[in-house]
Structure 1
Amino acid sequence: MSLSSNPKTKSKAESVLRRSIRILSRSDRRKILIVIGVQIFLGILDLLAVMFVGILGALAVNGIQSRSPGDRVSSVLKYLNLDLLQFQLQVGVLGITAAFLMILRTLLSVYFSRKVLFFLSRRGAQLSAKLVSRLLSQSLLVIQERTTQQMLYGLTNGVATITLGVLGTAVNLIADVSLLIIMSAGLFIVDFTVAMSTFLMFASIGLALYYLMHKRAQALGVADAKLSIASNEKIVEVLESYRESVVRNRRGYYSGEIGQLRFSLADTLARISFLPNISKYVIETSVILGTLVICAIQFIITDAAHAIAVLAVFLTAGTRIAPAVMRVQQGAIQIRGSLGSASPTLDLIENLNASSETFDNGSENFSFDYGTFEPSISIKDVSFKYSSNSQFALQGISLEIKPGQQVAIVGSSGAGKTTLVDLLLGVITPDVGEVKISGVPVLEAISNWSGAISYVPQDIRIANGSIRENVGLGYPREVATDERVIKSLEVAHLMEVVGELENGLDSSTGEKGSKLSGGQRQRLGIARALFTSPKLIVFDEATSALDGETEALIADSIHSLKGSVTVVMIAHRLSTVRESDLVVYMDSGSIQAVGDFETVRKAVPNFDKQAKLMGL
C-alpha cells in the first residue's frame, strides 16, 4: 500500500523511513529481517487452515446429502491419507488441524510481535542513553540551538516515536501485507471468483480508508508534538518567572494560555485515538455485507455443496484478512502520524551521531588527589565569534595566570567577560588561538584531573533533593560523606544554617531550592564548587545574592585560599576584587588593562570612576 499519492510527500516519507532504519546497526537490521521472514512463513499456516476449512465445508455438505466429495476434495483427502477414514474422522481431523494451524499462527505472531517491540524499545533506550552522552560532549552553542523542551522531546519521546511508532509498526505492517498477499494467492487457487471478490472488497475498503485519513493522521501527529512542546514550555516559563507573574498580574493570562493549549492537545489526542475506530466499524460492516452478497450469489449460480464451501472459505479468510487489512490501514496511518514528529528528532540524532565522542561510564577515582595538576592558565591570541553575530565577541585576547593567583575580571556588560569564562570552562572553543590549563587544552585538563577545576555560576541551579545531594551533585551518594560535605559548607558559611535543620545534611531543599533563601542557594553553590577540593575555581558573580556581611565572610574565605588555589572571579562589586593579585579590565571583547587594583584604576578612567562611586 502506498504511503501517499503525492510524489513529494511519498519521497519525504520514504526518506524518513530510510533514516529511521539507519539508526539500527547492521546486526539489528538482520535480526529484524529474520523476524519478518518468520512472520511471512506464518501466513502460509493461515492459508493452509483456510483451505482445510473450505474442504471441511464441502465435505460436510456432501456428507449430509450422502454424496461423494468432488474430484478436488477427493484428491486432497487422498494426498493427506484421509480418503480411507470414516466421514466423521475426516471432518474431525480437518477441523482440528485447521483450528490448530490458526491458533499456532496467532500465538507465534503474538510472540514475535512482542519480541520485536521489546527489542526496538530497548534499542530506543540504548539510543537515548548514547545521544545524551553525545549531547553532553558538545559545545554549549550546540546545546543552545534548541529549546530545552525540544531537546527533551527529541531525546525521549521522539526516539520512542521512531523505534516503536515507525520501525515497530513497519515490521508488523510488512507481516500483515505479506499475509494478505499469501491469502489472496491461495484464494485464487481455490476459487477465482471468491478470491477476486474478497480482494477487491477489502483492498478498496483499505485504500479508501487510508487515503481519507492518512493526511489527517500526519497533521495530527505534527500537532501533537508541537502542542506538547508548547504547553510544557509555557508551564516551565510561568513557574520559573512566578514572582514576576504575580507582580505583573499575569497569572490569569498564563492560566488561560496553558488551559487553551492543553484543551487543544486533548482534542488532538482524542482525534488520534478515535481514528482506529473508524476503520474497525467500517471493516466490520463490510465483512457482514460481503458475506451476505457472496452467499446469495453462490447459492444462485452453484450447488449447495460448492456454495457452503465457498462461504466457509470466505468467512475463514475474512477472519484473517479483515483484521490484517485493518492493521495495515491503521499501521500506515500510525506511521504517517509518527513521520510528522520523526524528522526533527532524526535531525537531532544525526547531528549528535556526527560526533563520535561519548563518555566512559566505568569506575572513577574519587580520591580528589590531583598529583601533577598545576592551576595555571594560558590564553594566547584568542578570538571567538558566535555564529549568529558577524562581529567577534572576543578578539586578540592574551593572558597568563600563575598558580595560586586571585584574578578579578571586570568591565561593563557585554564586554566579553562571560565568553572568556566559557572558554576557560571548555564549554566553547576559540575560533583562533588556544586556551590551556596546566599546560594542556581545557577539556583535556578536565578529563585528566576530574574535580581539580570548579565553577560557581551567578544563577545557582538547585536539584530537588537534600543538602548533601546538592553539595555532592553529580557524584554517587557514598562519595558525599559527612566530613567532606561539612567541610564545604563551613567554607561557604552555611553550616550554621544547616545545623538548625531537623534532618541536618539530609534536609530537603525543595524544588529548585524553594526552602532556601537566595543567599543560601548562592552559598550552597559555593559549597558545591568546594566539594572536590579544587585547585582552580571560577566565580561568575558568585556573591551577587549575598548581603554585605555574608559577602564579606565569603570574600574572606576565598582570600584564605590564596596561594594554594587559583581563583578567577567575574565581579561587578568592586569591593570583592580590591584584594585580587590581578585585575583584568575588559571592554568590547578585548583586554584594556591588566595589573593590580590601583594600576588598573590609573589606566582605565571608567574603572576609576566606578571605584570612586563605590567609595574605594
Structure 2
Amino acid sequence: MDTIKKLRFLFNKVEKIKFLIIFISLLLGAFLEMFGLSFIAPLVGIISNPNTIHEQKILQYIYNLLGMSSTKDFLLFMIICLLALYIFKNIYLFFMYHIQFKFVYNQQAKFSRRMLQSYLRKPYIFHLQRNTSELLKNVNNEVNALFGSVILSSLLLMAEALIVLAIGSLLLVVAPVESMVVFAFLGITSGIFLKIFRKKIKQAGKQNQQHHIQMIKWVNQGLCASKEVKVTGREDFFVNAYTANSKKFAATLCYYQLMNQIPKLFLETIAIVTILTIVTIVVIENKKTNELFPILALFCMSAFRLMPSINRINCYINSILYYKPSVDVIYKDLYEDQDSNSSYFQKKSNSYNRNDILSHLSCGISIENVSFQYPNAVDYVLKNVSFHIPKGKSVAFIGQSGSGKTTMANIILGLLDPSQGTVTVGGINIHDNPKAWSSIVGYIPQSIYLSDDTIKNNVAFGIEEEKIEEEKVWGSLEKAQLKEFIEKLPDRLNTYIGERGIRLSGGQRQRIGIARALYHEPEVLILDEATSSLDNATE
C-alpha cells in the first residue's frame, strides 16, 4: 500500500485518467480472451458428437436462426466465427499494447527530464552532499526501472490477472468441481511461494541498487582520473573495486532470474496434475467419454493460455518487488526532499529583477555579519564577516587553505545562503532572487569544467549553437589571450577539445574558462584562483 500511495503522488490527474483508460482496455482484452475460449468446448462437442447441436438449446437456436440445413455447414460456420474472433482479438491486443507501451515509455522520458531538472535546480548545498554517480544512476537507471519494471509490470500484471480471472470464471461455470480443486491447489502453493520469497526478493532489489551505485562510482573515478591512475600504476585497484561490486550485482540478478524460472517449472507440473485430475474425476463420476472430450479440450486450451499468464504474473510480481526501491528513491528525491532542498530558483521570491540590481550596483556589494556552517558540521567556516566592495574595485581574499575563501566566493555568487547575515547591493539582498543576481555575475573557478564539444560551445556554455554570437566568442578569447592560438587551428572555433578539455594544456583550459566568464559581459567577476595555471606574463 505504501508503494501505491507513492505512485499516486508521482502522477497528475490527467495521467491517472490515462491509466484508467488503459485499465478499461485491459478489461475488454480479458473479455475477448474469455469469449474466444468459450467457443472451444461447443466446437469440440460438435466435432465429437454432431447431435450436440440439437441437444443444447443455445446451439439449436443459433442453428435455426441461421437457417442451417446440415451440421457440417454449422460446424464450418463455428470454425469461421472462431477464426474471425481470434483475428479481431489479436489485432485489438496489438493496438492495446502499442498504446500501453507508448504511454509508459513517454512517461519514462518525461520523468527522466523531471529528475534531471529537479537535480539541476536544487541548491548548491544539495550537490555538496550527494554523489554524482548516485544522481546519474537515478536519472538513467532508476527511472527506467520504475517504468520498465514497476509501472509496466503492474499494467501487464493487471492484464494477465484479468485474463486468468475471466478464463477461471468460464472454467468454474463449465466444470465447477474440477476447477475448484485446481484453483485451490494453485492458490495455496502460489501463496506459500510468495510468503517464503517475498522479503528475499525485495532485499535482493535493495542490494542490486547499492551495488549498481558503487559500480558507476568506481567506473567514474577510474576513468576521470585516468592520468593519475596510470602515473601511480593503480589500474588494478579500480578494476578490483569495480569487480567486487559487479560480482555482488550479478549475484542479485542471478537470484532474481532464478525466482522467475521457478513458477514456470512449477506450473508445468500443475498442468499435468490438472488434466489427470479432470480425467480421474470424470471416471469417478462415471461420465460418458463423449462428455469428457469437450471439457478436457477446454481445460487443455485453458491450460495452454493460462500457464504463460500465471507464469508472467509471478514474474511481474517478482519484478515489482525487486525494483520497488526505485519507487522509494524517485519519490524521495522528487517529493520528500522538496521542502528541505527546494528548487534553487523556485523557493526564492521574485521581489526584484536584473534591472533593479543594475540600478543599485553603483552602491557596491556589502557583506554584513555573514556566518556560515555546513550541514552536520560542528564549527562555522565563516563567523561574523563584514566588508564592502565598491564598484570598479578589486578585492582579494587571502588566507590559508580551509579558511573559507571559496565558501565566501560561493556566498557572494548566491550559491550558498549564509547561516547568518546578508549580502546586499544597495539594500537588495542578492539571495532573495539568485537567478537575477547570477545574470550579471561571471565566475571563474579553480577547476574549469569543459565539455566534450567545440571551443565555441565551451565558451558560450549552455547556449544553443544557433544563438551563439561568434564575434563575442572571438572578443572574449582575445581578452583571455587565446585568440592567436585558436586562429592557427584547422577548425578554429569548431575544434573539438575532448572530454574535460583533455586535448588542451592546463593554461589553455583555464583561459577558455576565463573567456566563458567574459562572453556574458558580467558586471561582477569572481575569480577563485582562476589564473593558477597561467604563466606570470599572461596572468
TM-score normalised to the size of structure 1? 0.78
Alpha-carbon offset, residue 463 of structure 1: 0.8
Partner residue in 1 for 2:403: 415
2:61 is aligned with 1:78: yes
Contact 1:130–1:358 (CA under 8 A) maintained in structure 2? no
Partner residue in 2 for 1:59: 46
Instruction: Work out which of the residue numbers 380, 386, 391 in structure 2 matches 1:403.
Output: 391
Partner residue in 2 for 1:460: 448
Partner residue in 2 for 1:196: 180
- CA–CA distance in 1 between the matches of 2:41 and 2:387? 90
Alpha-carbon offset, residue 526 of structure 1: 0.9
* Cα separation, partners in 2 of 1:102 and 1:283, compared to 1, 3 Å: farther
Matches for 1:230-309 after TM superposition, within 5 Å: 230-273=214-257, 275-295=259-279, 297-298=281-282, 301-309=286-294
Q: Write the deviation string for residues 538-594 of structure 1: whole angstroms up to 9, x where unpaired.
A: 00011122233332xxxxxxxxxxxxxxxxxxxxxxxxxxxxxxxxxxxxxxxxxxx
Partner residue in 2 for 1:311: 296
2:18 is aligned with 1:28: no
Contact 1:224–1:268 (CA under 8 A) maintained in structure 2? yes
Partner residue in 2 for 1:609: none
Contact 1:49–1:98 (CA under 8 A) maintained in structure 2? yes
2:324 is aligned with 1:339: yes
Q: Which amino acid aligns with 1:349?
A: L
Q: Which amino acid aligns with 2:10?
A: I
Q: Write the deviation string for residues 367-407 of structure 1: whole angstroms up to 9, x where unpaired.
A: x9x97472631222222222211332222222221211111
For the residue of structure 2 that corresponds to 1:537, the secondary structure is strand
- CA–CA distance in 2 between the matches of 1:128 and 1:538? 33
Contact 2:202–2:322 (CA under 8 A) maintained in structure 1? yes
* Cα separation, partners in 2 of 1:38 and 1:238, compared to 1, 3 Å: closer
* Cα separation, partners in 2 of 1:209 and 1:92, compared to 1, 3 Å: farther
2:514 is aligned with 1:526: yes
Q: Write the deviation string for residues 89-132 of structure 1: whole angstroms up to 9, x where unpaired.
A: 32223333334334433432342233223212212322232333
Contact 1:198–1:314 (CA under 8 A) maintained in structure 2? no
Partner residue in 1 for 2:91: 107
Instruction: Work out which of the residue numbers 478, 481, 498 in structure 2 matches 1:510.
Output: 498
Contact 2:219–2:242 (CA under 8 A) maintained in structure 1? yes
Contact 2:417–2:431 (CA under 8 A) maintained in structure 1? no
For the residue of structure 2 that corresponds to 1:321, the secondary structure is helix
- CA–CA distance in 2 between the matches of 1:76 and 1:142? 72
Q: Write the deviation string for residues 151-201 of structure 1: whole angstroms up to 9, x where unpaired.
A: 112223212222332122112212222222222222211121332244245
For the residue of structure 2 that corresponds to 1:399, the secondary structure is strand
Contact 1:20–1:166 (CA under 8 A) maintained in structure 2? no
Q: Write the deviation string for residues 274-300 of structure 1: whole angstroms up to 9, x where unpaired.
A: 543443344345434533443455356
- CA–CA distance in 1 between the matches of 2:392 and 2:111? 43
Instruction: Work out which of the residue numbers 328, 338, 349 in structure 1 matches 2:334.
Output: 349
* Cα separation, partners in 2 of 1:327 and 1:372, compared to 1, 3 Å: same
Alpha-carbon offset, residue 330 of structure 1: 0.8
For the residue of structure 2 that corresponds to 1:115, the secondary structure is helix
Contact 1:206–1:325 (CA under 8 A) maintained in structure 2? no
Alpha-carbon offset, residue 512 of structure 1: 1.0
Instruction: Work out which of the residue numbers 80, 99, 102 in structure 2 matches 1:96.
Output: 80
- CA–CA distance in 1 between the matches of 2:83 and 2:310? 21
- CA–CA distance in 1 between the matches of 2:521 and 2:410? 21
Please provide the CA RMSD for this pair.
Answer: 2.9
Alpha-carbon offset, residue 266 of structure 1: 4.0
Gaps of 5+ in 1: 1-13, 360-367, 552-616
- CA–CA distance in 1 between the matches of 2:36 and 2:136? 48
Contact 1:437–1:445 (CA under 8 A) maintained in structure 2? no
Contact 1:40–1:175 (CA under 8 A) maintained in structure 2? yes
Q: Which amino acid aligns with 1:100?
A: A
For the residue of structure 2 that corresponds to 1:411, the secondary structure is coil
Gaps of 5+ in 2: 347-354
Instruction: Work out which of the residue numbers 158, 169, 173 in structure 2 matches 1:185.
Output: 169
2:215 is aligned with 1:228: no
Alpha-carbon offset, residue 536 of structure 1: 0.6
Partner residue in 1 for 2:458: 470
* Cα separation, partners in 2 of 1:373 and 1:119, compared to 1, 3 Å: farther
Q: Which amino acid aligns with 2:129?
A: E
Q: Write the deviation string for residues 290-317 of structure 1: whole angstroms up to 9, x where unpaired.
A: 3344345535631122101101211222
Identity %: 25
* Cα separation, partners in 2 of 1:46 and 1:276, compared to 1, 3 Å: same
2:313 is aligned with 1:325: no
- CA–CA distance in 2 between the matches of 1:93 and 1:39? 29
Contact 2:54–2:60 (CA under 8 A) maintained in structure 1? no
Q: Write the deviation string for residues 497-524 of structure 1: whole angstroms up to 9, x where unpaired.
A: 2233222121121111111111211111
Contact 1:456–1:526 (CA under 8 A) maintained in structure 2? yes
For the residue of structure 1 that corresponds to 2:415, the secondary structure is coil
